[in-house]
Amino acid sequence: MKKSTLLYYCLAFGSVISCRSNDEILPASQAEVHNKTVDVTHHDGRPFSTGNGSSTAKFVAGPGGGVLMQGFYWDVPAGGTWWDTVRGKLTDWSNAGIGAVWLPPASKAQNGPYSMGYDPTDYYDFGNFNQNGTVETRFGSRTELEALITKAHEENMQVYADIVINHNSGGQSEYNPYTGSNTWTNFSGVASGKFTRNYNDFYKNSYGNNDEGSFGDFPDLCHANPYVQDWLWGRDDSVAKYYKNVMKFDGWRFDYVKGFGPWVVNNWNSSVGGFSVGELWDSNVNTLESWANNANSSVFDFAAYYKMDEAFDNNNLNALNDDMMWKRNPYKAVTFVTNHDTDIIYNKMLAYAYILTHEGYPTIFYRDYEEWLNKERMNNLIWIHNNKATGTTSILYTDNDEYIARRNGYNGNPGLVVYINNSSSWQERWIQTNWAGKQIKDFTGNSSWYPTTQGDQWVKIQSPPNSYSVWSLNQ
């Protein structure tokens, strides 16, 4: 979604909260949540003092799985350098335990060298045709994009494409008999020569007045039109198959899925497979779950996003008891702390401690990792997620300032206990573990305790002020 139109969208829909296949390949981070057997190799790339092992191995999924990096932010530097910037970071990301990167919309858009890609014109121009005032996109050339994807695969990472198929921009004016006026719907001259469009491929047209929702004043693609379906996912050189088979993308992030029916994503996924996640900007967990089931796709867990803001920024950790998508179906929940469109959580390290120790597929925001937060602490949480965050979740204690939860472990992996403390002083609690007579330690290094659990599995643990600790067997 384009930030410049975010305010319009919020006003149109009444609130910030509502502002925005069987062939599906699940990310490794969701693989063992509910005792689903997966053949994985333990990741020994421990970045620092959490244990022994190499810190230079390419990403290999551990028992807790992997982590997704959002590999951009709004208004990344223009000038065609971004693909090279991301490519230069992939080895470090892989070493840290990040298993996939989500890229911004990669094809040529109306605003040419300045566009963030959310106003797509030509789905097959990746910076190799001279149109909309440029050959390269804002992010670089097709050659540089392909080099990035190749490098990611060499690092054993997946690459997810941001797919904008609700609306188009950059067409020429033509007379539209269904509106009785001219509309900007003539895309017959796209430089690639693929997926040419005219007024009957957009609403209003012979198929009706609109689908689920238009976005701003952009022409709204008509997914009911078989011609549009064929070009999006049906034919051998469709957008979906070209991205998958030629450009070698591994999965999809679907922009603004409120604008079209979930059957569109379902058909796309059935046609090409790969991981997929939808941007359904809604805090209602019933809405998120219904869309994910009907789309046969994961969905961003906006329910958890707003509950984390309430919990960590408004001193109400009891809010974490409320319903969230990851609690409904962790296989289809992609959790996040911020993204290119919205950044409301202030206590971000507490939020990352939450999503990187809980079920679901956690996303890290580029600027949080590379610029704003402590990278060593982030890498520590990533290692904990990949190596210790296994099994179902049991919430052990909550009040306004404290939250303690237990991951119950799976297939020989002991799981963990996470203690988040939003108060201004050290806190201690007796809690029940799954371990009897075992020494445990805090894998964040925030506590120096090495307590031994009692025969009844109870133990006292602690957490520092405005911080967290993560406990597991000392092994």
Taken in order 347, 352, 354, 359, the sign of the CA dihedral is: positive
Average pLDDT over residues 149-157: 98
Instruction: Identify the CATH assignment for 3-389 out of 3.40.190.290, 3.30.1330.60, 3.20.20.80, 3.90.1070.10.
Output: 3.20.20.80
User: Which of 6-20, 132-146, 280-294, 301-315 is predicted least confidently?
Assistant: 6-20
pLDDT recorded at residue 57: 57
Is 379 a residue whose pLDDT tops 80? yes
pLDDT recorded at residue 16: 27
Taken in order 265, 126, 301, 12, the sign of the CA dihedral is: negative
Q: Give the span between the Cα atoms of 299 and 15, in whole angstroms.
A: 20
pLDDT recorded at residue 405: 99
Q: In the chain, what is the greatest distance between 2 CA atoms, to the nearest angstrom? A: 80
Nearest to 148 by CA among 71, 224, 33, 225: 71
Q: Give the span between the Cα atoms of 191 and 223, in whole angstroms.
A: 23
- Count of beta carbons in the 10 Å neighbourhood of residue 77: 10
Read off the pLDDT band of 209 (50, 70, 90). Answer: confident
Q: Give the span between the Cα atoms of 454 and 470, in whole angstroms.
A: 18
Average pLDDT over residues 210-239: 91
Q: Give the span between the Cα atoms of 261 and 334, in whole angstroms.
A: 20
In 337-410 the beta strands, taken as DSSP E runs, fall at 361-365, 393-398, 402-407
Start-end of CATH 3.20.20.80 domains in the chain: 3-389
Average pLDDT over residues 267-283: 98
Nearest to 137 by CA among 145, 126, 148, 147: 126
Q: Give the span between the Cα atoms of 345 and 42, in whole angstroms.
A: 32
Is 467 a residue whose pLDDT tops 60? yes
Residue-wise pLDDT for 122-146, tens only, equals 999 999 999 999 999 999 999 999 9
8 Å CB contact between 294 and 267? no
Residue-wise pLDDT for 420-440, tens only, equals 999 999 999 999 999 999 999
Q: Pull the structure tokens for residue 87.
A: 């490519």
pLDDT recorded at residue 186: 98
Question: SS3 for 130-146, per residue?
Answer: CECCECCECCECHHHHH
pLDDT recorded at residue 213: 73
DSSP secondary structure string for all residues of 169-189: --PEEEEETTTTEEEEEE-TT
Average pLDDT over residues 195-199: 98
pLDDT recorded at residue 216: 72
Q: Pull the structure tokens for residue 178.
A: 């269904």
Q: Determine the CATH number of domain 397-473.
A: 2.60.40.1180
Range 179-186 contact pairs with CB under 8 angstroms and sequence separation of 24 or more:
179/204, 183/219, 184/219, 185/219
pLDDT recorded at residue 282: 98
Is 97 a residue whose pLDDT tops 80? yes
Q: Give the span between the Cα atoms of 395 and 117, in whole angstroms.
A: 41
Give the number of C-alpha atoms closer than 13 A to the C-alpha of residue 339, restricted to the C-beta side.
24
Residue-wise pLDDT for 437-455, tens only, equals 999 999 999 999 999 999 9
Average pLDDT over residues 155-165: 98
Buried b / exposed e along 163-189 (16+ C-beta atoms within 10 A): bbbbbbbbbeeeebebeeeebbbbbee
Read off the pLDDT band of 214 (50, 70, 90). Answer: confident
pLDDT greater at residue 70 or residue 43: 70
Is 168 a residue whose pLDDT tops 50? yes
Average pLDDT over residues 83-92: 98
Buried b / exposed e along 297-332 (16+ C-beta atoms within 10 A): bbbbbbbbbbbbbbbbbeebbebbeeebbbbbbbbb
| Percent above pLDDT 70 for the chain | 88
CA angle 474–348–320, rounded 5-degree value: 75
Average pLDDT over residues 98-126: 98
Residue 35 gets the label, from left (phi > 0), alpha (psi -120 to 50) or beta, of left
8 Å CB contact between 401 and 317? yes
**Residue 12 CB partners (closer than 8 Å, separation 6+):** none
Q: Give the span between the Cα atoms of 219 and 229, in whole angstroms.
A: 16
Identify the DSSP state of 252. E
Residue-wise pLDDT for 11-53, tens only, equals 333 322 223 232 333 343 333 333 322 222 222 222 222 332 3
Start-end of CATH 2.60.40.1180 domains in the chain: 397-473
Average pLDDT over residues 351-358: 98
